[in-house]
Structure 1
């Protein structure tokens, strides 16, 4: 027995039949186009496409695969299809969910604006390889017959961005695909389904209020105000202000908003200290001094590690716009023992993401 679609010989035919071979040859003329047989004792294998929440990143592009999930096909090791010698058929994988238009590249538009779905099957057999839906695969029985099984195969679901603007909500529930014989379409070998809200799309948005690029001016401080490595002075508060929306969709669904900061660490420090290197050059540049960024949302001001991702807020679906504010501090930081007065100019970049 072999995996669909790869042939294997059934041992029922004895090569010792001798004179009966002529009779078989004559009968074959009338049965050359007979269909293969679907094993009625093997139930239809069902893949429940429980992908869960899919958050659409604001920076994602049309054509991006937002999520890819593989599901093992829980199929019987018994043959699901048997083809006797010279029997033939077509194994067809079709998308059956109504109202989903084909967009090309095996992607189908879903009921959620800007969101497509692509279905495929892996491990379909060494002679066939992996296949996407829809597809048609010819099968036939060799001398001694051929059997086929789905055991060991995997089913793949890809959620794809199809438009620059996307909506939120749950994908339509129901049967999405059917894998069957063209001669027996009422008894499929494999189906894929969505039950309830098994795939829910979240399309959050956050808009920066004011200028996306901020310049924070720190007042001049005396070099004598530093007492050694790790000492600070000249704190200045500022904030990152956003208006965010969790989008529309199923009540209880949400997306979390995160922010991270990146920059060059000052010599003598590590990323966890959150001290930015002085980018000023020339004879007027200060040395041994950097600028440290801190999270000012709690009672204790916490240095923001470079590259660290911080959770800002949770956006619930159907709640409209909300204000998200991150309170921050910037201050001078002595990073090396021999500090020298001069100009200090540091750069940090921030990135807002959703999960």
Structure 2
């Protein structure tokens, strides 16, 4: 019996359904700098500095669309020095991803260059898109921001903005996301808000290494008299799959696949072509019980995937114990060679 390791990277999409409408914080106060029919407050445009904990370790099998980190910032509006933009007519608002690329998906994910990572910005449960939209003049009237009559509303992003980092690629390399401006808003041609990452964020790709990618297991010569009723087996021959998860904190699972018949989901491995024996199959055993085979996939919840351990990041190479044995599958066994090939796929979740 031969075992061959395969790596299949799972992909997924975010299932969160969220509005793509943009949220604006509207506040009443006195204007300062004018630009056509729009005026910027005396405090200028608020700059939201968002801190995200670093480093971030990205699980190799985390689905595309998974949130891998986040941070929040709040704008404290100063009534003595208003910030944002007030307009006396309909105004164009432009939302720009300063890292390049437009927003996409139900939660308006914006790419961060070619990093394989994107980000979202949200306020009051709404996700900001890129692009332009028209803000009606009614948004700048006192009733829109619940202020006293005779005042003026100012538009800016806030009051609380949450930035989420999102996995966009099946494989994310180790890298550092730079601090600095990521998103800006202009209203009527005036800067209304800027969102920046306050600190560099280190990204580490989480994975373990299989140290035994190909394993040969000799089940030996077994006399026919060893088998009696259907289901009787030979002695189990132990083997181990080596896994190095040093520096990685993860749970790991495994799926075995019948290489000769990938759609075989039973607990008996079919004989490979060239085998001359009949009435017998091969079983892989874990803790005394035969393992059922499944599809060649690392996706979480894959059919007959089983969790076999976890790593806290401080260990070295571990050996995952299994065994192999022959099993009688027919009423009559014909002597001869009986070989099989199974693959195994690791999943880190």
Distance 2:207 2:157 in 1: 42
Conserved? CA contact 1:55–1:354, under 8 Å:
no
Higher normalized contact order (CA 8 Å, seq sep 6+, divided by chain length): 2
Structure 2 length-normalised TM: 0.55
* CA distance in structure 2 between the aligned counterparts of 1:223 and 1:144, rounded to whole angstroms: 87
**Aligned match of 1:117:** 118
- Conserved 8 A contact 1:36-1:89: no
Q: Which residue of 2 aligns with 1:229?
A: 230
Seen in structure 2, the aligned counterparts of structure 1 residues 279 and 234 have a Cα distance that, compared at 3 Å, is same
Match among 254, 259, 271 for residue 259 of structure 1: 254
Aligned length: 274
Match of 1:302 among 285, 289, 293: 289
Q: Provide closer, same or farther for how the CA distance between residues 345 and 322 of structure 1 changes in structure 2, counting only shifts above 3 A.
A: same
**Whose radius of gyration is greater, 1 or 2?**
1
Aligned match of 2:338 in 322, 344, 349?
Answer: 344
TM-score scaled by length of structure 1:
0.54
Which structure 1 segments of 5+ residues have no match? 6-30, 74-79, 96-101, 248-253
The C-alpha deviation readout for 1:123-149, integer Å capped at 9, x for no partner, is: x99xxx9834xx4x1525489999899
Distance 1:145 1:345, change over 3 A: same
SS, match of residue 131 in structure 1? coil
8 Å contact from structure 1 (residues 313, 324) kept in 2: no
Q: Does 1:67 align with 2:73?
A: no
The alpha carbon displacement at 1:32 in A equals 11
Q: Distance in 2 between matches of 1:57 and 1:35?
A: 48
1:26-65 mapped onto 2 (5 Å cutoff)? 33-35=36-38, 55-57=58-60, 65=64
Note if contact 1:48-1:193 (Cα within 8 Å) is conserved in structure 2. yes
Does the C-alpha gap of structure 1 residues 285 and 66 become closer, same or farther in structure 2, counting only changes over 3 Å? farther
* Aligned alpha-carbon RMSD (Å): 5.3
Measured after TM superposition, the shift of residue 219 of structure 1 is 0.9
Q: 1:168, 1:92 → 2: CA distance?
A: 27
Distance in 1 of aligned mates of 2:277 and 2:118: 55
Distance change in 2, residues 1:44/1:286 (3 Å): same
What is the aligned partner in structure 1 of residue 325 from structure 2?
A: 331
Distance 1:261 1:228 in 2: 26
Gaps of 5+ in 2: 1-20, 24-33, 73-83, 103-109, 145-154, 294-303
Matched, 1:292 2:286: no
**How many Å apart are 1:349 and its aligned residue?**
0.6
Distance 1:83 1:339, change over 3 A: farther
Distance, in Å, in 2 between the alignment partners of 1:215 and 1:56 is 30
What whole-Å deviation, never above 9, does each CA across 1:99-153 have from its counterpart, x for those lacking one?
xxx366653269xxx663343679x99xxx9834xx4x152548999989999xx
Q: Does the 8 Å CA contact 2:245/2:311 hold for their aligned counterparts? A: no
